[in-house]
A and B are shown apart, each in its own frame.
Chain A
């Protein structure tokens, strides 16, 4: 039997030592190995909440009475609702379309009088159902609240209707997604996720490839400016991004039958901005990577919090404040809102603007950073 065929601890140890040495020489991977679990734990542990509380809610109160005051107080006391403002009907609907509030609760005029008359007045609850997961818990809580208030308040003159469930009714309108279909939420969200992953990675790789193969030295010695290199590099990927976006939109319509009720041109602008932001980011990330593997790792490192904090995986409203602040930096968060807004809610320019400018700002900042970090020399 030859000596090579038996397991040698010396040789094995040689390999172990080599691996550790190489790991040490690759600080990007090393840092990632250390930070990844901490980040995932924090995100999953604190940011993820499938039964979100403190959902922004608008109240439309048609009359001031003992009953409506109790309803309002009970809603305020509940964890589920954060009553942001009491609005008139029009502004409330707009706030719902823009995604500023998750619920609009309206108590009609003459509610108490009709209650006494036994006319079964209705409390109307309009919910933004684009993400069914977000509103599930809150909706059932809302019904419980109204019923328990009714139970307590219907005394004296109203005593005769107490206990009868017919005294009042609660009408729930699941807006934009009446059937509560989760794929209405997931499929448009995937558009951003897929675009982000591929575009960030592709540009990152294309620049890192030059460095890895040694052609960067040649490129830098040629009379071409960093801006020319970067802008030249992202153009092909802008086309690829368009192609991907087109395919995804087509599939969401044909395969998943997701509605498309908003302004297509507004969505196009949002998409172009989003692709540009990802490509610029890919260029910037590539300034910190030596080889293609690192570029892939760094992309994943950026991508993971994106998935979790953008409202794609978990309800945005359910995240703690700090996580929302971070989430609001990512273009994916805003793009998700734009896509859902246009496809499901029929958003137009006015509704989209709050989700467009943060992406544009991100683009500008990241572009400045990429120029700053681009190594004009081999130093």
Chain B
């Protein structure tokens, strides 16, 4: 279908999916290149999981089309399933099987040659040889997540679809996990990963932000920040909550975000923003311009999409 089948891991156009009368995925087009880590961001219930399921054939789109590793997502989901690794949002390996039994099962379904060696190798890499016969249900969250990733890597997939793989995992384990993703990407494996964490978003090559089923922005992190033309000032001090409420009613301020002892205020006009915030903040508070962060932009996009949706149609 497409001319760039060789370089694109995912290439979907105008995907749409409704559950009942609710449009969960609305006209989403996305391309992920080989060897690219593509971050998929958006608030809860924005359609990230549904999008991923559409791409790997777990759900049938109502509209749109596309390819995954060059295979049609509508008709060739069997081929796709054999070549991708999909990690579900909720841990979905069998709690009542041991770690080895889970890996063995997956290896059998992929008809991996030299199954035992492959499983042993994976266990060794995970440093789980000693606990291979432990029931999976007894593992902690971090270990479960590592096992899940290892299991979906068993058949050496060309593309990984990871649905919030690091939710509930401690920062060190998250960091290790992302190091692993980057080494995989360096070997030419493409990764589509959904996340809520900004630090993780910043470690992606490219990002897509989705809200209410619609794709709001795509590109690299700096591109997305630049595209919104948002300027931000930070206010340091105490009793910022009252200030935040005041600023929210000011036209020059698009949004405020509280961070414990500081407050981010963003607006489209840099000078007007700075003078307005300085005026309202008054004395005792310290106001300075900062670089707009990815988080500021995402909060901004989320509010915008909410407001758009509330408009009568």
A378 within 8 A of B: yes
In the complex, the chain A residue whose C-beta lies closest to that of B94 is: A215
CB <8 Å contact, A221 and B56: yes
Q: Mark A181-205, 1 if CB is under 8 A from B, else 0.
A: 0000000000000000000000000
Cross-interface CB contact of A222 among B90, B91, B95, B109, cutoff 8 Å: B109
Q: Mark A209-241, 1 if CB is under 8 A from B, else 0.
A: 000011111101111110000000000000000
Task: Report the bound CA distance from A223 to B78 in whole Å.
Answer: 6
A4 within 8 A of B: no
How many residues in B have their beta carbons less than 8 Å from beta carbons of A? 20
Given A218-B92, A223-B78, A377 contacting B60 (CB threshold 8 A):
yes
Query: Which residues in chain B, 71-113, are within 8 Å of chain A measured between CB atoms?
Result: 78, 81-82, 86, 88, 90-95, 106, 109-110
A138 to chain B, nearest CB (A): 55
B53 within 8 A of A: yes
Q: Mark B204-231, 1 if CB is under 8 A from A, else 0.
A: 0000000000000000000000000000
Chain A residues lying within 8 Å of B92, measured Cβ to Cβ, are 213-218
Chain A residues lying within 8 Å of B60, measured Cβ to Cβ, are 377, 379
Task: Report the bound CA distance from A223 to B77 in whole Å.
Answer: 9
Cross-interface CB contact of A220 among B58, B82, B90, cutoff 8 Å: B58
- Interface centre among B58, B92, B106, by most chain A C-beta atoms within 10 angstroms, is B92
Chain B residues lying within 8 Å of A220, measured Cβ to Cβ, are 58
Chain B residues lying within 8 Å of A223, measured Cβ to Cβ, are 78, 81-82, 109-110
Task: Report the bound CA distance from A109 to B164 in whole Å.
Answer: 90
B128 within 8 A of A: no
CB <8 Å contact, A222 and B58: no
Chain B residues lying within 8 Å of A222, measured Cβ to Cβ, are 81, 106, 109-110
CB <8 Å contact, A378 and B109: no
B28 within 8 A of A: no
Q: Mark A80-96, 1 if CB is under 8 A from B, else 0.
A: 00000000000000000
Chain B residues lying within 8 Å of A225, measured Cβ to Cβ, are 78
Chain A residues lying within 8 Å of B109, measured Cβ to Cβ, are 222-224
Given A213-B95, A215-B92, A221 contacting B58 (CB threshold 8 A):
yes
Give the bracket for the number of chain A residues in contact with chain B: 10 to 19
Chain B residues lying within 8 Å of A215, measured Cβ to Cβ, are 92-94
CB <8 Å contact, A218 and B88: yes
Chain A residues lying within 8 Å of B53, measured Cβ to Cβ, are 378
Task: Report the bound CA distance from A217 to B58 in whole Å.
Answer: 8
Given A377-B59, A378-B53, A378-B59, A221 contacting B86 (CB threshold 8 A):
yes
Cross-interface CB contact of B88 among A217, A224, A379, cutoff 8 Å: A217
What DSSP secondary structure best describes chain B's contact surface?
A: loop
A290 to chain B, nearest CB (A): 15
Given A215-B94, A218-B88, A221-B88, A377 contacting B82 (CB threshold 8 A):
no
In the complex, the chain A residue whose C-beta lies closest to that of B108 is: A224
CB <8 Å contact, A377 and B81: no
A206 to chain B, nearest CB (A): 12
In the complex, the chain A residue whose C-beta lies closest to that of B111 is: A223
Cross-interface CB contact of B57 among A213, A214, A218, A377, cutoff 8 Å: A377
Given A218-B88, A221-B86, A223-B78, A377 contacting B94 (CB threshold 8 A):
no
- Interface centre among A216, A223, A224, A379, by most chain B C-beta atoms within 10 angstroms, is A223
Chain A residues lying within 8 Å of B56, measured Cβ to Cβ, are 221
In the complex, the chain B residue whose C-beta lies closest to that of A216 is: B92
Chain A residues lying within 8 Å of B88, measured Cβ to Cβ, are 214, 217-218, 221
In the complex, the chain A residue whose C-beta lies closest to that of B163 is: A217
Chain B residues lying within 8 Å of A378, measured Cβ to Cβ, are 53, 58-59
Task: Report the bound CA distance from A214 to B95 in whole Å.
Answer: 11
Task: Report the bound CA distance from A218 to B81 in whole Å.
Answer: 11
B297 to chain A, nearest CB (A): 32
Task: Report the bound CA distance from A70 to B78 in whole Å.
Answer: 75
Task: Report the bound CA distance from A377 to B58 in whole Å.
Answer: 5
Chain B residues lying within 8 Å of A214, measured Cβ to Cβ, are 88, 90-92
Chain B residues lying within 8 Å of A213, measured Cβ to Cβ, are 92, 95
Task: Report the bound CA distance from A215 to B60 in whole Å.
Answer: 19
Task: Report the bound CA distance from A126 to B282 in whole Å.
Answer: 110
Query: Which residues in chain B, 223-247, are within 8 Å of chain A measured between CB atoms?
Result: none
Task: Report the bound CA distance from A133 to B53 in whole Å.
Answer: 59
Listed A/B pairs (16) with beta-carbon separation below 8 Å: A214-B88, A216-B92, A217-B58, A217-B90, A218-B86, A218-B93, A221-B56, A221-B58, A221-B81, A221-B86, A222-B106, A223-B109, A225-B78, A377-B58, A378-B58, A379-B59
Partner-B contacts on A (CB < 8 A): 213-218, 220-225, 377-379
Besides the known contacts A378-B53, A379-B59, 16 further A-B residue pairs in the complex with CB atoms under 8 A apart? A214-B92, A215-B93, A215-B94, A217-B88, A218-B88, A221-B56, A222-B81, A222-B109, A223-B81, A223-B82, A223-B109, A225-B78, A377-B57, A377-B59, A378-B59, A379-B60
A-B pairs with the 9 shortest C-beta distances? A218-B92, A221-B86, A223-B81, A223-B82, A222-B109, A214-B90, A215-B92, A224-B109, A214-B92
